[in-house]
Structure 1
């Protein structure tokens, strides 16, 4: 007997699972999410939402809500190096998440821990209709040609239910039982070490001594780790993230031993502190060999694990969810063929390979890089914004195998993120990327209006919503762009057009008006939507 039916079952209620629920709900799909823990974790874990992630959240209208819960002291940016908080200060430098985006985005890093970000994602997903059940675990599932049948159980009272879903998203972490059960292997550099995080309460104001900093790296014979304040100035909630040996976990550390580490990090052997909790995780570089198996999709740490350097890992997972959500929505609606879902792995696996390598390079920089590895280092802007997709969901112009390009010299080619272009729409300042967040968008110049008429005709026939815009400086433009550089920056001519996907990536472009624009667009949508 089926107790619940849902279009998409999401397993895992951390950042990526909640993002999946949010993006699907934004597209009108009401998913069911199950998470075995009773509540969102109190551990901050991933510390920053990248500019690309903030673009996505701004497009959904919750960017400001995320900025409002930014981690206290994040605005200071500074990072200290010291023997201990009370000991000699060795160095002070700019934090890792204040880099210039070189004019390729209107957003910047937002220093927000998962413990602060996840409630915002959950609240908005539920407002949009997502069914989110914490304290509920997946027992098992079977997939067939039409969907997935799963058994779930409430951890509190043991009550079981059977769920029927069309698709399943595995966001169940780096030890993903779903990935293992599917027989999907992993590859990569493997484990570098382990990191523990200790949550504690203590009055450290006299040791801070009025200094303004985001994090403090401490190093002495008793402890190597990072101290961070979790509450506002004057509060007593802190965390310590000490390094562990690869064979250790937090379970090897008693509360008394954790207290010793905290005291050593602060530099006061008699410090009064209360240990609230401890957890640990693996610092590793590992990728799933596949991201898809039938009707199951791996996302986030279930698909890839990165070192924390660069802050790429959690953001990569959120962008997995964003890439997959619009595709699932169109397939579930019947507008796209099931083949569109094949583009998820085709697009995200190469991006994950590239981003993982960049995280590893940044991690190994601390101990020195060989020239060959150092030569593969790419700028932060390229890692965050330079992805180039190659799949059937893109109408290609060439056979260039490159998976990235420098967004500071954006080409506007199909498969790349829509070139950053500030515009004014309905009386407010925005960008093309922020504006395109649910439906396809067709952009053209004032002389290319025939494209918009053809696009309206084709999409009405397909039952596909389409945003249509004239980009220019004149009174007939719907996107006001005073610089007049749209055509140049997107690589089209005076009567060209650009089709942008719901995820903000260019699906197709035409340098000039063709003889039959409706036929041209029909062929484009048939390809991109796997019709």
Structure 2
């Protein structure tokens, strides 16, 4: 048997596994991905990717490869008899709040790209960055000890090899065999229903002219859900577990369209469980769960399934990179579960508070306030040892301007000049620790603390190194007074801040950075 080594083994080469590979290799971490299938699924699956997800892909050079939606697009759905028949009602994906301010929260706008079109883009970028991706290869056994994980791999033609990895990421889906082997249970609403679907092609773009892309079909003898992938492909979904032959499916597609004179090409069918379950823990030793292996969240107007998994991968990648590079101790990895599992539960809660799953909601769900998209995408709060000052009294999510630089939240976006170049403040982060302040004295302090702790820390002088494009104060956006400073993690989240100049600035920063970065010194 062959014996190989790598830093991180990722099991599952779909959306979340490929994202993890891109995020890790962009930080120089040797990574092997194994995927038992020969490529992407025939079924496109996920379609909506949020501005926050595109922000993450922007950090690894992918923004230009993923077509984004126009900024003015309002995502809506309609309740209809059929596409060509009566349209009863149109609604926004998320209930709009009249008092919500009009603020540009991100340099990105989100993307309506099918998962089977996005995965090849991620795979190509992972290859470019040096990932070792092995398709038609399956994990058949693994064991972990204090020094790493030993995995037995088998290719489709029966070739067996052994791979030794420092860490393993389980991105092997909702029925994760790795999660089952680890004995990790799950809780949540559980199975909601079995769904059947049919993917087809038809010339139906004319029915998208009103800006609606999701349709609830209501007929006396047919209730179904119809949506488009924006590339000529559509999927019709049924809330039952009935197997239908091709003639029956074609008839039902025609009923949903309301016409029988259009060419229809049936591509494939699907059967899947609509469920909501969160793993009891997202880590066990040197093994980490991500994506559907950690949480299954049913399709929703917030797009909480795939997008949540991609942010899992991003959160975990910088922490693994810090530990593997020797800048952090393994206790930093404990913050992955502490930060990401509450987010999964928050999204579980929000799904059943919203209209789509009212039939599965409990009285407690009905009493849950619906958080707007800006709060859910840009204003979630992390509480962990990698954050100082995020107490239990704080809400789980708010809009960025309500947080005003609160530690545990994403550093806010603002357009600034770096030299003569216009950039988002988000582009200044994502690679290393960053300290921002209008007070120049923090520069010498940051340099001394970085050298003392053996960690890379970049100082950015607000007002000099970066200048606001619109005259807004980034110091104010971070909630800082004169002399204050904000410490940003390598994932763009605020780890700590000093509201003003402290009495012993070097000791204050050193103690804060040592705590949140879990440094080895």
TM-score, with normalisation over the residues of structure 2? Answer: 0.90
Q: Does 1:382 align with 2:375?
A: yes
Structure 1 residues 397 and 204: CA distance shift in structure 2, 3 A: closer
TM-superposition CA deviations, 1:100-133 (whole Å, max 9, x none):
8743333323222212222222111111111112
Give yes or no for the alignment of 1:129 onto 2:120. no
Which structure 2 segments of 5+ residues have no match? none
In structure 2, the residue matched to 1:267 is: 258
Q: Is structure 2 residue 119 aligned with structure 1 residue 118?
A: yes
1:193 pairs with 2:193: yes
- Cα distance in 1 for partners of 2:381, 2:203 equals 49
Equivalent residues of 1:81, 1:90 under 8 A apart: yes
In structure 2, the residue matched to 1:511 is: 499
The one of 482, 489, 498 equivalent to 2:477 is 489
Distance 2:462 2:2 in 1: 50
Contact 2:193–2:275 (Cα < 8 Å) also in 1 = yes
Q: Is the 8 A contact 2:416 2:466 kept in 1?
A: no
Distance of 1:85 and 1:403 partners within structure 2: 39
Give the conservation status (yes or no) of the 8 Å contact 2:282–2:290: yes
Distance 2:469 2:142 in 1: 51
Which residue number in structure 2 is paired with residue 288 of structure 1?
A: 279
Contact map agreement 2:434 2:458 (CA 8 A) in 1:
yes
Asked if the contact 1:34/1:132 (under 8 Å) is kept, the reply is: yes
Give distance in 2, aligned partners of 1:91 and 1:400: 40
Match of 1:43 in 2: 43
Q: Is the 8 A contact 1:104 1:408 kept in 2?
A: no
Q: Does 1:308 align with 2:299?
A: yes
- Using the TM superposition, give the Cα deviation of residue 30 of structure 1 relative to its aligned residue in structure 2, in angstroms: 2.2
1:166 matched to which residue of 2?
166
Is the contact between residue 468 and residue 474 of structure 2 (CA under 8 Å) also seen in structure 1? Answer: no
2: distance between equivalents of 1:209 and 1:170? 38
Moved more, 383-392 or 164-173: 383-392
Cα deviation, 1:346-400, whole Å, max 9, x if unaligned, reads: 1111111111111121255655885862343222221112221111111226553
- Residue in 1 that maps onto 2:58: 58
Corresponding residue SS for 2:22? helix
Matches within 5 A, 1:414-493: 414-445=407-438, 448-472=439-463, 476-480=464-468, 483=471, 485-493=473-481
For the 8 Å contact 2:12–2:35, the answer to whether it is kept is yes
2:353–2:368 CA contact under 8 A, matched in 1: no
Q: Secondary structure at the match of 1:511?
A: strand
CA separation of 1:420/1:202 partners in 2, compared to 1, >3 Å: closer, same or farther? closer
Given that residues 26 and 438 in structure 1 are in contact (C-alpha distance below 8 angstroms), is that contact kept between their aligned partners in structure 2? no
**TM-aligned CA distance change 1:428 to 1:195, over 3 Å:** farther
1:240 aligns with 2:240: no
Cα distance in 1, alignment partners of residues 334 and 344 from structure 2: 16
Alignment correspondent of 1:394: 387
Identify the residue that residue 325 of structure 1 maps to in structure 2: 317
TM-score after normalising by structure 1? 0.88
* Partners of 1:109 and 1:159 in 2: CA distance: 41
Structure 1 CA distance for aligned equivalents of residues 201 and 424 of structure 2: 43
User: How far is 1:275 from its partner?
Assistant: 2.1
Distance 2:453 2:55 in 1: 29
Distance apart, 1:3 and its partner CA: 2.7
User: Does the CA contact (< 8 Å) of 2:113 and 2:230 recur in 1?
Assistant: no
Cα separation, 1, equivalents of 2:317 and 2:338: 15
How far apart are residue 424 of structure 1 and its match?
1.8
- Quote how far apart the aligned CAs of 1:162 are: 1.0
Query: How has the CA–CA distance of structure 1 residues 378 and 293 changed in structure 2, closer, same or farther, with 3 Å as cutoff?
Result: same
Matched residue, 1:153: 154
* Structure 1 partner of 2:400: 407
> What is the CA distance between 1:144 and its match in structure 2?
0.7
> How has the CA–CA distance of structure 1 residues 106 and 477 changed in structure 2, closer, same or farther, with 3 Å as cutoff?
same
415-424 vs 173-182, which deviates more?
Answer: 415-424
C-alpha contact 1:48 1:97 (8 A) present in aligned 2? no
Paired residues, number: 513
Contact 1:393 1:529 in 2 (8 A): yes
Aligned in 2, Cα 1:461/1:335: closer, same or farther, shift over 3 Å? Answer: same
Aligned partner of residue 397 in structure 2, secondary structure? coil
